[in-house]
Chain A
């Protein structure tokens, strides 16, 4: 429990609310102080006005009825409950009459309103003497006697006491409330943090499919969990990719390596003529070239997917690149009995890398040639057009196409449909195109060309984001 409390006090929520309460209390204290001092001033002023009006009355009585009338009036007034203080003193300051027993010395020496409260003694309700504080007006009568009219400070002091008490009680209630809120909020935050740490621990233990809990309130905890979850999703995808690659490397790199080794062994074993040696060696070179090609493609894809800067992005003439590639591949396509049509919108410029786009388009054209070869009335159509802000390049063929359910699959590394295993290739072509499109913040989509029923064909569409205006 104690350590639990200690942890609770370390949470941000508790610290923050502590700080809030401190600030709030300071503000409240200031407010109360301000209000009391204002009202006290008001009371003091009222008191002075009362005293002054009484002084005026006493002067009046003295002027009309003389000393006797004055004495009678003071006598009557002094007996009233909650009465003011009245003193008649001789010029030496000795008290002659009034309702005061004794007085702080020096009060009678000066005329006018007393600057500071003074102490005095008088008879209490039970006949005992009581000491009180008061302020008063002292003035001289024309016969040389001094008159003091004062007022006890009991009332304002009582008022101040009340306010103080209210303040203490309010602060106490506030403190208790704050503690309760602290505890609830802090514990709630703590529990959610604990759940997040638990989930993180499970993820660190290797279960990447775990996700952090997300509540329904959409508060900052939930937002944090959500962004951490999407990060985890990305990590899981990368990890999955890595595992897939290592599995595939095992197969697709080891197989040609084995073939390579077997060829070398076969050439060494038994009697081999120089011509056969040459044959074996050149086969081995071809085999290793294929391996190098696979390896390069793999490296590039993984660099792109790791998000590292692969290539410089410059404004390039996409129309030119597409025309170049079409021109480069056209003879090879015609050789394979395919008619090539190109519909290239001019002057489309984008920010990109010429080599990478060339490579991607080359891969698509190479695929189209490989798979449309032998199709009746085989055709390849390359199209470049503006698409809103961006640009779209599509390569269509009327070959066998890819069944819809397989399309996502063929983008994966090393995945080759069974039908295509006999064709040359690394199984990385489309993955590479997709990686290139990712570098360009674009996308690759596979669809069907959709001409006739027998030959559905494949249309690969590269979508580039915002084209840049052509340079003048």
Chain B
């Protein structure tokens, strides 16, 4: 995967480049809006990480200009502005995700990976499969080893999101945003409890664990045996 980082803080950019490289992601760096726009237009990237406040051309105008030119590379906006409306403005400008500063790198990484893979994931997959776990999106049925597992509607959506991003880390905030569609800070471990309930339902009576907790980051559903 190859991404473009548009960030005017050189220290932060160097840190991000290094951290992404360690996670196996190649990155280019632009330090102002204009060169960011140039690179994003000239090259093909899997995802863009764009700081909102940039010299010469701010991040939002960069993204809306790209969209106007018909380039739809998924873009994540980084911003020191974290108020409710700032996020809305960011997404309206054509951004695909919004992460307020300061952020945990694990959060950024998880989001960039989901964004970068989005290009290749066919949305029309009607059934997700991880190991012997099977989720039928149309019939709203979950089976493991041929046996049906009964889930609450929310648990179904939780599992659906996890399986859609199988093999990738999804953070608690990503779950809250994508499964519940809320962006606030829930203060406590509410998501963890939901996940552990789901886990007990899909792993009870089975030897093979599927839903892993990734320490300091979030959760990942993965077929450990075949991987």
Residues of A within 8 A of B (CB): 282, 285, 288-289, 292-293, 296, 299-300, 303, 309-312, 324, 327-329, 331-332, 334-335, 353-356, 358-359, 362-363, 366, 369-370, 425, 429
Given known A310-B84, A332-B189, A332-B190, contact A362–B102 (CB-CB < 8 A) = no
Find out whether the CB atom of A289 lies under 8 angstroms from the CB atom of B187. no
CB-defined A-B contacts under 8 Å, sample of 26:
A282-B216, A288-B102, A293-B185, A299-B83, A310-B85, A311-B84, A311-B85, A312-B84, A312-B88, A328-B176, A328-B180, A328-B182, A328-B186, A328-B194, A331-B194, A331-B197, A332-B188, A332-B189, A332-B193, A355-B182, A358-B182, A359-B184, A362-B184, A362-B187, A366-B186, A429-B187
How many interface contacts (CB-CB < 8 Å) are there between A and B?
A: 69
Contact A285–B104 (Cβ < 8 Å):
yes
Bound Cα distance from A331 to B186, whole angstroms: 13
Q: Which of B79-136 contact A (CB under 8 A)?
A: 82-85, 88, 100, 102, 104
- The answer for the CA separation of A327 and B180 in the assembled complex, in Å, is 10
Contact residue among A300, A327, A335, A366 (Cβ-Cβ distance under 8 Å from B187): A366
Residues of A within 8 A of B185 (CB): 293, 296, 359, 362
Within the assembled complex, what's the spacing in Å between the Cα atoms of A299 and B194? 30
Q: How far is the CA of A332 from the CA of B184 in the complex (A)?
A: 17
Which residues of chain A are within 8 angstroms of B100 by Cβ–Cβ distance?
296
Give complex CA distance A466, B193 in Å. Answer: 36
Establish whether residues A331 and B184, one from each chain, have CB atoms under 8 Å apart when the complex forms. Answer: no
A303 touches B85 (CB 8 A): no
Contact status A324-B180, CB under 8 Å: yes
- Asked if B154 is at the interface of the complex by the 8 Å CB criterion, the answer is yes
Distance in angstroms from B122 CB to nearest chain A CB is 30
Are A324 and B194 in contact, CB atoms less than 8 angstroms apart?
Answer: no
A355: chain B residues at CB < 8 Å are 84, 182-184
* A331-B187 contact given A311-B83, A312-B85, A355-B84, CB 8 Å threshold: no
Q: Which residues of B contact A282 (CB under 8 A)?
A: 216
Complex: A363 Cα to B186 Cα, angstroms: 7
Q: Which residues in A have their C-beta under 8 angstroms from that of B186?
A: 328-329, 362, 366
**B190–A328 contact, CB under 8 A?**
yes
CA distance A310 to B190 in the complex (A): 26
What residue in chain B is nearest A289 (Cβ atoms)? B104
Set of chain B residues within 8 Å of A334, measured between Cβ atoms: 193
Across the A-B interface, give the 10 residue pairs with the lowest CB-CB distance, nearest first. Answer: A359-B184, A331-B193, A366-B187, A311-B84, A332-B193, A332-B190, A355-B84, A358-B182, A358-B184, A335-B193
* Docked CA distance A374–B212 (Å): 30
| B85 → chain A closest CB, angstroms | 5
From A285, A292, A300, residue with most partner B Cβ within 10 Å: A292
Contacts of B176 in A (CB 8 A): 328
Cβ-defined partner of B154 (8 Å) among A293, A327, A363: A327
Residues A285 and B216 in contact, CB atoms below 8 Å apart? yes
Residues in B neighbouring A359, C-beta threshold 8 A:
184-185
Q: Assuming A293-B185, A312-B88, A355-B184, what are 4 further A-B pairs, CB within 8 angstroms? A: A300-B83, A328-B176, A329-B190, A356-B184
Select from chain B the residue with minimum beta-carbon distance to A439. Answer: B84
CB–CB A356/B84 < 8 A: yes
Chain A, residue nearest B179 (CB): A328
- Cβ–Cβ < 8 Å partners of B193 in chain A: 331-332, 334-335
Chain B residues with CB below 8 A from A369, complex form: 188
Alpha-carbon separation in the docked complex, A300 to B82 (Å): 9
**Chain B nearest CB: distance from A256 CB in Å?**
14
Chain A residue numbers with a CB within 8 Å of B182 are: 324, 328, 354-355, 358
Q: Is the CB of A353 within 8 A of B84?
A: yes
Hey, which chain B residues are within 8 Å of A356, CB to CB? 84, 184
Chain A contacts for B83, CB-based, 8 A: 299-300, 303, 310-311
